[in-house]
Structure 1
Amino acid sequence: MSPEVSTAEPVTSADATTLRRSLKRFDITAMAIAAVISFDTVGQIATGGGEAATWTAAIAVFFLIPYALLFAETGAAFPQEGGPYVWVKLAFGRPAAALTTLFYWVTNPIWLGGSLVFLAAETWDGFVFPLGSGTFADYTFKLLFVWLAILTAVVSLRRGKWITTAGAAVKLLALALFTLTALLYGAEHGFQGLTDTRFTPTTGGFLALVPILLFAYVGFEAPNAAGEEMHDPQRDVPAALGRSAVVAACCYLLPVLALLAVVPAGKVTGIGGFMEGARLVFGVYGGAAGPLLTLTAVMFVLALLTQGSAWMIASDRMQAMAAADGGFFTRRLGAFHPRLATPVRTNLLSGLVATVFMLVAMRLAEGDAAAVFTVVLTVAVTTLLLSYLVVIPALVVLRLCRPEVPRPYRVPFGDRGFVVCAALVYGWILIGSWAALFPGVLESLFGIGYDFHDVWGVSRASFEAFTLGTVAVLLVIGALGVLTARRTASPRTGSGTSHPKGTVHDG
């Protein structure tokens, strides 16, 4: 028996007439690149050594490709504003969609304020201009970083898209410059980093790398959050996702290989690994090395900024559509500004959440409190992976139960091919989510040594209390949001449509 699917119509914000079609194929590709290529994770991936390159390639083939195929078909078939929120609502109803969207959305302001801003400040302090830890300059830089990212999401998409496009270009340029320079350095001094590097994959390496690799590769559905702001989503989404998937795979694999080639084994350390690798290889430019290194650091920071803003543009629209549909506290959060055509109230809420996490992290910079914050931040970021545990089944339900919906692009081999791709993606997400929420468990099953306190700085019991507690708090907030929205709901006029009347066309 086929699973039942909700008969609810796609939701469109009460302010949908303000939406403007401003995203073309190039813009969608650039937004996907800006969101998906996590510049900050290149160094983290490389800490896995030679097998990091092996697993990066393997996951690109067995996760990234089927993942991109799934969202290329669904994004073209269901191009409504809100993207994944609408898909889950059509498959499982509003409550499930509201909770899933909350998990998807909350990741991004927490990630912006609890991670990206600190990486940006560390880079700026070490390679551009000294800030000092905890100084007025440090606070000012971090606040400006957070709110510039939010401002990019607030401005109209026809202008904001050029900021994310510039960020995507800067990101590709910086990665290409580093990779090319590493090759020049290796040709002159030898590829010493490869001497002791082993590319043979191991179970331990897999379990350590899979959460971060999955987090790095997800996000191709992000542009669909602005589905009704695309000129021709049925044709442009599949093509744009295909191009951005290829670019993403290359932009992870090639720099990781270059970093491993020039930096001695065991000395690659997260963000320091990438920038210190750049410091090393830029020596081939002689006197120009200093200015080039500073320029690369500036590009790194700009890439982090636009990466955060690209996710804000997408996830804030999803959360706004959930609110507009009566799925999160008040419909006012779903209002789109009549002139900017952006969900300004949700944007500001994201900015407040990011600022709070940034300030808390600044106060809890050392000792046991810092370890606790790291745990909470880790699980908060993991919520993005958890949201896909609902989104992926929703795609399958829509494929099997809505065969009448036109699908300009189809995954090869029909329903069977779609289900196989979904099973592969779901399996990866399940493993990644489990490894992030319950680290060390799978390692124990495979007889791999894992000193929990050395890795996390807290006991396993404390870790699980904070991780599961964070998830429980989000579930409670989501449930309260749905219940409150139902009690305060006012009668709505009209019904949502795939492409509302009055949509304004730009250009």
Structure 2
Amino acid sequence: MPHLRRSLRRFDIMAMGIAAVISFDVVGQIATGGGEALTWTAALAFLFLVPYALIFAETGAAFPQEGGPYVWVKLAFGRFAAALTTLFYWVTNPVWLGGSLVFAAASAWDGFVFRLGTGTVADYAFKLVFIWVSILTAVVSLRRGKWITTAGAIVKVGLVLLFTGTALVYGIEHGFGGLHDAVLSPTTAGFLGLVPVLLFAYVGFEAPNAAGDEMHNPKRDVPVSIGVSACVAACCYLLPVVAILSVAPAERASGISGFLEATALVFGVYGSWGGPLLTTAAVMFVFALLTQGSAWMIVSDRMQAMAAADGAFFGRSLGAFHDRLGTPVRMNLLSGITSTAFMFAAMTLVEGDTAAVFGVVLTVAITTLLLSYLVIIPALVVLRRRHTEVPRPYRVPFGTAGFLICAGLAYLWILLGSWTALFPGTLEPLLGVAYDFQDIWGVSRITFETFTLGTVAALLVVGVLGRALGSPDR
């Protein structure tokens, strides 16, 4: 790509990974698991995050081309498999931005900063601005856009430290009653309920590799960046969960609003300053969510643009990079349109059966990120065994055996998460755990499977059509 400029140094890569992966609404969901949430968060940090980070650190340094996972799957399995995998990886992000992040941001702003209402002009305006600011951050040149995602990463870490420190002070004043009642022993129900959420929380550190040709020294910087950002993310999930469970019951941390309610509780230690500080914290929350969307748009749009430029996703023109900005503007705009469409759909389908169905489709669309790893991880193994001539600046400990063990562990966890996303409630009866499907999802299992498998089938049709209408192999 002649228009790409090397803008990302090691700190930028680390910051982009942190900005993309750490999600405060996920922190709230994890905390609802009670004491065993700590156990499973720590367990998956060692049993999934470590092996996952090791194999992607080695591959990302050895194959640093623009497009990242698209290039890896293409080298391993060909253009068609790469096109489908990249579509699943990419579509998660505009759907998540327009169907989840924007609503979490609006809820935080409405509850703690300025009243928006629901379905009002102010509500629509806020959500549209949120979506398109995230998109425009991806449109501007990377050497400027990276500072926004870097600021988001700093705000996230700063907010975690502020909340954790304040919770410590609150606990000293009022006692750490939550820890006395917390049951850390893992259970089967907790395992099935928390593991899929934690897997979704922990993946994505390879995403900056989508801008591989825009890194100054990827062979040196990628392994260190993945290692550091993964450690920071693990701490940013563990520390606030510990803090929440120490001073507040788990039910006060359900989703983004619940997490802010827990923040409101501990900020009482600041007296009259508590209100302004809570408003500031809510603004930081919203900014962190916005930059999370920006970071994913920057990297995933580049992946999908590389697929289009390669002729694997409709026309090559869709993958064109702007001459001056060096960004895939057309793919950025497609993401913005997709996000906006999902936002309007969610605003329209707000009650009754349609709301439950939309929630099912949204959940499956988001978990397509996990489904993409079912192809990406085997591709890493194929590259490790087939392309032995490629220099590998960093290697997983214990050579090929160590790489295969790490890949096998990561793959088994992803397989579990993908299965529970598409077929929830099927493992619980086998393990003696009660599961009321209708009560949890608001629809019957037949309806659920119709829409989940239908969503996946629709994406496959789009992928096949995009490849068929793309350019022939060169």
1:350: Cα distance to partner?
0.1
Specify the alignment match of 1:90 in structure 2: 75
- What is the TM-score normalised by the length of structure 1? 0.93
User: Do 2:252 and 2:262's aligned partners in 1 also have CA atoms closer than 8 Å?
Assistant: no
How far apart, in 1, do the equivalents of 2:355 and 2:247 lie? 32
**Aligned match of 2:221:** 236
Aligned partner of 2:148 among 147, 159, 163? 163
Q: Of the candidates 349, 362, 370, which is equivalent to residue 385 of structure 1?
A: 370
Tell me how far 1:264 sits from its aligned partner.
Answer: 2.1
For residues 141 and 257 of structure 2, the distance between their equivalents in structure 1, rounded to whole angstroms, comes to 36
1:281 aligns with 2:227: no
Does 2:77 correspond to 1:81?
no
User: Which among 314, 317, 341 is matched to residue 299 of structure 2?
Assistant: 314
Within 5 Å, which residues of 2 pair with 1:43-442?
43-442=28-427
In structure 2, distance between residues paired with 1:271 and 1:158: 31
TM-score, reference length from structure 2: 0.99
Q: Which amino acid aligns with 1:466?
A: F
> Displacement of 1:268 after TM fit?
3.1
For the Cα contact (< 8 Å) 1:192–1:264, is it kept in 2? no
Distance 2:151 2:198 in 1: 24
CA positional deviation for 1:73: 0.4
Q: 1:351, CA displacement in angstroms?
A: 0.2
| 1:368 positional shift | 0.9
SS in 2 for 1:337: coil
Matched, 1:26 2:4: no
1:329 aligned partner, one-letter code? F
Aligned residue for 1:336, secondary structure, equals coil
Question: What residue number does 2:449 align with?
Answer: 464
Separation of aligned partners in 1, 2:446 and 2:248: 37
The alpha carbon displacement at 1:334 in A equals 0.6
Matched, 1:17 2:2: yes
CA distance in 1, matches of 2:290, 2:261: 21
Report the Cα offset of residue 273 of structure 1.
2.4
CA contact (8 A) 2:13 2:225 kept: yes
Counterpart pick for 1:475 among 426, 449, 460: 460
Query: How much does 1:432 deviate?
Result: 0.4
Helix, strand or coil at the partner of 2:253: coil
Q: Counterpart amino acid of 2:369?
A: L
Cα-Cα RMSD: 0.9
Q: Deviations over 1:149-197 (max 9, x none)?
A: 0000000000000000000001111111001000000000001222321
Corresponding residue number in structure 2 for 1:500: none
CA contact (8 A) 1:46 1:270 kept: no
| Larger deviation, residues 257-266 vs 305-314 | 257-266
Name stretches of at least 5 consecutive residues in structure 1 with no aligned partner. Answer: 1-15, 493-507
How far does residue 36 in structure 1 lie from its aligned partner after superposition?
1.2
Question: What amino acid is aligned across from residue 141 of structure 1 in structure 2?
Answer: F
Q: What code does the residue aligned with 1:474 have?
A: L
Query: 1:340 is aligned with what amino acid?
Result: L
Does the CA contact (< 8 Å) of 1:63 and 1:428 recur in 2? yes
Q: d(CA) in 1 for partners of 2:287 and 2:342?
A: 21
What is the number of equivalent residue pairs in this alignment?
474
Alpha-carbon displacement from aligned partner over 1:269-322 (angstroms, at most 9, x marks no partner): 222321011000000011100010000000000000000110000000000000
Larger helix proportion of the pair: 2
Q: Is the 8 A contact 2:66 2:211 kept in 1?
A: yes
How far did residue 265 of structure 1 move? 4.3
Deviates more, 1:365-374 or 1:193-202: 193-202
| Pairwise CA distance, 1:206 | 0.7
- State the distance in 2 between where 1:235 and 1:224 align: 13
2-structure distance, mates of 1:448, 1:55: 18
Please give the alpha-carbon distance, in whole angstroms, between the structure 2 residues aligned to 1:45 and 1:327.
Answer: 38
Identity percentage of aligned residues: 74
Instruction: Quickly say closer, same or farther: Cα 1:265–1:167, change in 2 above 3 A.
Output: closer
Superposed CA offset, 1:331-382 (max 9, x none):
0111000000000000000000000000000001111111000000000001
Runs of 4+ in 1 over 6 A off after TM superposition: none
Q: Determine the C-alpha separation between the residues in 2 that align with 1:360 and 1:215.
A: 24
Given that 2:244 and 2:250 are in contact with CA atoms closer than 8 Å, whether structure 1 keeps it comes out as no
Describe the SS at the equivalent of 1:485. Answer: coil
Residues in 1 aligned to 2:252 and 2:299: alpha-carbon distance in whole angstroms: 36
Contact 2:24 2:256 in 1 (8 A): no
CA distance in 2: counterparts of 1:436 and 1:200, whole angstroms? 25
Q: Which residue of 1 aligns with 2:428?
A: 443
